[in-house]
Amino acid sequence: MAGLWVWTAVLVAARRRGRRLPQPLMRSAALWTLKTFDKILIANRGEIACRVIKTCKKMGIKTVAIHSDVDASSVHVKMADEAVCVGPAPTSKSYLNMDAIMEAIKKTRAQAVHPGYGFLSENKEFAKCLAAEDVVFIGPDTHAIQAMGDKIESKLLAKKAKVNTIPGFDGVVKDADEAVRIAREIGYPVMIKASAGGGGKGMRIAWDDEETRDGFRFSSQEAASSFGDDRLLIEKFIDNPRHIEIQVLGDKHGNALWLNERECSIQRRNQKVVEEAPSIFLDSKTRRAMGEQAVALAKAVKYSSAGTVEFLVDSKKNFYFLEMNTRLQVEHPVTECITGLDLVQEMIRVAKGYPLRHRQADIPINGWAVECRVYAEDPYKSFGLPSIGRLSQYQEPIHLPGVRVDSGIQPGSDISIYYDPMISKLITYGSDRTEALKRMEDALDNYVIRGVTHNIALLREVIINSRFIEGDINTKFLSDVYPDGFKGHKLTESERNQLLAIASSLFVAFQLRAQHFQEHGNSRVPIIKPQVANWELSIKLHDEVHTVIASNSGPTFSVEVDGSKLNVTSTWNLASPLLAVNVDGTQRTIQCLSREAGGNMSIQFLGTVYQVHILTKLAAELNRFMPEKVAEDTSSILRSPMPGVVVAVSVKPGDMVAEGQEICVIEAMKMQNSMTAGKTGKVKSVHCKAGDTVGEGDLLVELE
């Protein structure tokens, strides 16, 4: 065990010199030299598997990775000491295949299993299988998983433990008719949710009877697909709430702590997008009350591991129990940043039987941490429909101060339809919220992701939004701020001029580099260098054409944009994916994503990708004679907006459909999406059937 040997050497050396180590080092030494397990199998994939492996390496514990056949070359497989294939790509045949995983445990003689989050992390049957083989489950006991994994039972237990709960129906909803009856009794709006659910799957908000029927259908289908359990419950939907959760930690000796809160209100489709710790909204009194109730619930179920109690908090700081997640949360890094604890390490120690090392008074709030979930998604479609592809270029901004990236990918990794589209968790830490947010802004600008569509534009807009900065947020933040959908960053006049000046400088820099290459090439015909003092350019941005005059002196370009003069300075390393530029004293980091000979250039600026069309004055004049491509009329066709699997098709050729009527249902990353008709008409042809795998842009249905 590497960690044990290192600390043993440190202690021996100190004793030989007759010295004592400082108290913090003594505590760390004691921690690292405590024996836990020799080998742990991680029953997960991606970033969370890598995260667990990192802590195991620090503790000197050998690790075993499991993987599907398509994940054979994944980062978590390469990081682990051993790896075992547990089946083909579909999760039901690999990462949820308990028989194959149990066989891998026997084969590798792993003493314990860390389940990460998702998959089998809250599966009581899996925990029982491990116990039967005398393998330690690094998580709570099965009775706690069962009690808290069922939303109906957990709500009853919360009430008994005197935890504030949301008004609702404490039972399983049998069918759509009963759902409507219950919803009317509770009063609209209501939340329909999977009893065994989590991660936003199997959840729908209903504002009337029709939405309740649809919500019952979709939620039960999603619940069956994601959890193998289609039971649903209904409760009052608290309008405009904040989603704030308390991290708890318990041991097998009856001790439990709350490790402060995380604000997770920025969500889309009930899934978190941006999280932070602590919450800007809570005062110390409310924080303590929530923490004490969370601990009361943990003790009521004899909870022994890291877990999270989630609450909805209204504008008056009234809070209501939502659910308890009996596992490590996706957003646990922000808690680690402000407390200094390694939660994976604590889980391993507790699983071995050690008591907690800390008292409640020892848990600090040091600084501020923010986490952005970076997804392979198109944020311009419903705030994020999945994107698939191969990462042709990938570079994390870990060179910046106060930045942490939890990921499980590398250049060349594939984002497929089989698994969650998360690329990474980007975390920034600062002495206060302002510093943490500024570091996040810089980190997003310096994050290079090529080959898939990603949501960095949306993340960056959220963290610089005035409402977010002021702390005026709730779970409806995205729909409130962007009622017509996300459109990207809206440039001010100054920012527009900066972008045009940068684009024109890039254009000239590329031209000068090409000339330099020609001059130093082996051409048989001597090339006379054209003497160009000023470059007269025409730049099209957002259907507006701007006249630009650019000239350069060394690394500095002087650019006149519509009468405004700007100076742009950079190293102009055109081979680098990142380019730091200074525009009249303002520092910007931009990415030139693509450049075509015809003048089209794609630039990522302030997080958003802008398409600019740059031509010389002469080329622009000649371009007027080029025919324009007529846009396709898409009102009569339905194409898939995302890759996924067709779950159901509701029409056939000859059927009449009304505008907005459901035509088919596509499941992407375990979420069901209803595809509707764009206009009223007759179905001409259907190009898909239930069970088909479709890609983004594939033709589904044609109307006459």
pLDDT in tens, 49-105: 999 999 999 999 999 999 999 999 999 999 999 999 999 998 999 999 999 999 999
Residue 7 near residue 30 (C-beta atoms within 8 A): no
- pTM, two decimals, is 0.83
437 inside domain: no
Residue 533 has pLDDT above 90, yes or no: no
**Band of residue 678 on the pLDDT scale cut at 50, 70, 90:** confident
Do 150 and 120 share a structural domain? Answer: no
Do 346 and 261 share a structural domain? Answer: yes
Residue-level pLDDT at 641: 86
Residue 176 has pLDDT above 70, yes or no: yes
Strand 232-236: give its sheet, edge to edge: 201-206, 190-198, 232-236
Residue 432 has pLDDT above 50, yes or no: yes
Q: Which residues pair with 375 in a beta bridge?
A: 422
Closest by Cα among 327, 325, 324 to 165? 324
Residue-level pLDDT at 454: 96
Do 328 and 284 share a structural domain? Answer: yes
427 inside domain: no
Pairwise pLDDT comparison (622 vs 577), residue with the higher score: 577
Residue 375 near residue 274 (C-beta atoms within 8 A): no
- The tokens describing 330, both together, are 């996706």
Active site residues: 323
Pairwise pLDDT comparison (541 vs 4), residue with the higher score: 541
Pairwise pLDDT comparison (227 vs 380), residue with the higher score: 380
Do 585 and 510 share a structural domain? Answer: yes
**Mean pLDDT of the chain, nearest integer:** 89
Which are the contacts of 271, defined by CB distance < 8 A and separation ≥ 6? 199, 200
**Band of residue 23 on the pLDDT scale cut at 50, 70, 90:** very low
438 inside domain: no
d(CA 241, CA 229): 28
Residue-level pLDDT at 21: 43
Do 499 and 587 share a structural domain? Answer: yes
What CATH number has the domain bearing residue 347? 3.30.470.20
Residue-level pLDDT at 6: 37
499 inside domain: yes
426 inside domain: no
Residue 381 near residue 697 (C-beta atoms within 8 A): no
State whether residue 181 is helix, strand or coil: helix
Residue 440 has pLDDT above 70, yes or no: yes
Burial class (CB in 10 A: 0-12, 13-18, 19+), 146: buried
Do 150 and 80 share a structural domain? Answer: no
Residue-level pLDDT at 29: 46
Closest by Cα among 91, 13, 7 to 46? 91
| Mean pLDDT, rounded, for 102-118 | 97
139 CB neighbour count, 10 Å cutoff: 29
Do 656 and 536 share a structural domain? Answer: no
Residue 225 near residue 667 (C-beta atoms within 8 A): yes
Alpha helices in 68-135 (DSSP H): 75-79, 98-108, 124-132
State whether the Cα torsion 288-289-294-298 is positive or negative.
Answer: positive
Ranges 145-149, 263-267, 612-616, most confident: 263-267
Ranges 196-200, 239-243, 574-578, most confident: 574-578
**DSSP H/E element including 51:** helix 46-58
**Band of residue 521 on the pLDDT scale cut at 50, 70, 90:** low
What are the phi and psi torsion angles at 236 (to 5°)?
Answer: -60, 130
Give the lowest-confidence range in 118-122, 147-151, 296-300, 434-438. Answer: 147-151
Domain encompassing residue 663: 637-703
Do 208 and 89 share a structural domain? Answer: no
d(CA 652, CA 701): 9
Residue 450 has pLDDT above 90, yes or no: yes
What CATH number has the domain bearing residue 224? 3.30.1490.20
Q: Which residues pair with 613 in a beta bridge?
A: 540, 600
Residue-level pLDDT at 438: 98
Residue-level pLDDT at 9: 40
Residue 47 near residue 424 (C-beta atoms within 8 A): yes
Per-residue pLDDT tens digits for 540-597: 999 899 999 999 888 999 999 988 999 999 999 999 999 999 999 999 999 999 999 8
Which are the contacts of 528, defined by CB distance < 8 A and separation ≥ 6? none
Do 160 and 123 share a structural domain? Answer: no
Q: Structurally, how many domains does the chain consist of?
A: 5
Residue 504 near residue 535 (C-beta atoms within 8 A): yes
Question: Angle 210-214-219 (CA atoms, 0-180°, nearest 5)?
Answer: 145
Residue-level pLDDT at 22: 46
Closest by Cα among 371, 449, 448, 446 to 415? 449
Domain boundary among 216, 236, 256: 236
Residue-level pLDDT at 197: 65
Residue-level pLDDT at 218: 87
Residue 15 has pLDDT above 50, yes or no: no
Residue 201 has pLDDT above 80, yes or no: no
- The tokens describing 640, both together, are 């898939």
Per-residue pLDDT tens digits for 245-258: 999 999 999 999 99
Residue-level pLDDT at 516: 66
b/e burial code for range 534-565 (CB count within 10 A of at least 16 → b)? ebebbbbbeeeebebebebeeeebbbbbeeee
Ranges 214-218, 266-270, 435-439, 522-526, most confident: 435-439
Do 176 and 309 share a structural domain? Answer: no
127 inside domain: yes
Q: To 10 degrees, the CA torsion angle through 489, 494, 497, 503?
A: -50
> How many Cα atoms within 13 Å fall on the side-chain side of residue 245?
25
Residue 436 has pLDDT above 90, yes or no: yes
Provide the residue type at 344 as one letter. Answer: V
33 inside domain: no
Per-residue pLDDT tens digits for 625-650: 878 777 777 778 999 988 888 999 99
Pairwise pLDDT comparison (253 vs 1), residue with the higher score: 253
Kindly report each contact of residues 181-184 with a partner whose C-beta sits within 8 Å and lies 24 or more positions away, as own/partner: 182/234, 183/209, 183/212, 183/234, 184/209
Do 212 and 121 share a structural domain? Answer: no
| Mean pLDDT, rounded, for 491-500 | 96
Q: To 10 degrees, the CA torsion angle through 6, 10, 11, 13?
A: 130
Residue 361 near residue 257 (C-beta atoms within 8 A): no
Give the lowest-confidence range in 165-174, 479-488, 526-535. Answer: 526-535
Residue-level pLDDT at 25: 42
Domain boundary among 311, 345, 366: 366
Burial class (CB in 10 A: 0-12, 13-18, 19+), 176: middle
239 CB neighbour count, 10 Å cutoff: 12
d(CA 635, CA 660): 12
Residue found by looking up tokens 């509770």 in the block: 186
What CATH number has the domain bearing residue 93? 3.40.50.20
551 inside domain: yes
Do 597 and 544 share a structural domain? Answer: yes
Residue-level pLDDT at 16: 42
d(CA 459, CA 375): 10
Residue 514 has pLDDT above 60, yes or no: yes
Closest by Cα among 424, 414, 446, 386 to 591? 446
Provide the residue type at 700 as one letter. Answer: L
Burial class (CB in 10 A: 0-12, 13-18, 19+), 383: buried
Burial class (CB in 10 A: 0-12, 13-18, 19+), 224: middle
Alpha helices in 465-492 (DSSP H): 466-470, 477-481
Q: What share of the chain is helix, strand, coil (3-state, %, to 5)?
A: 30, 30, 35
Residue 347 near residue 138 (C-beta atoms within 8 A): yes
Residue 221 near residue 230 (C-beta atoms within 8 A): yes
Residue-level pLDDT at 259: 98
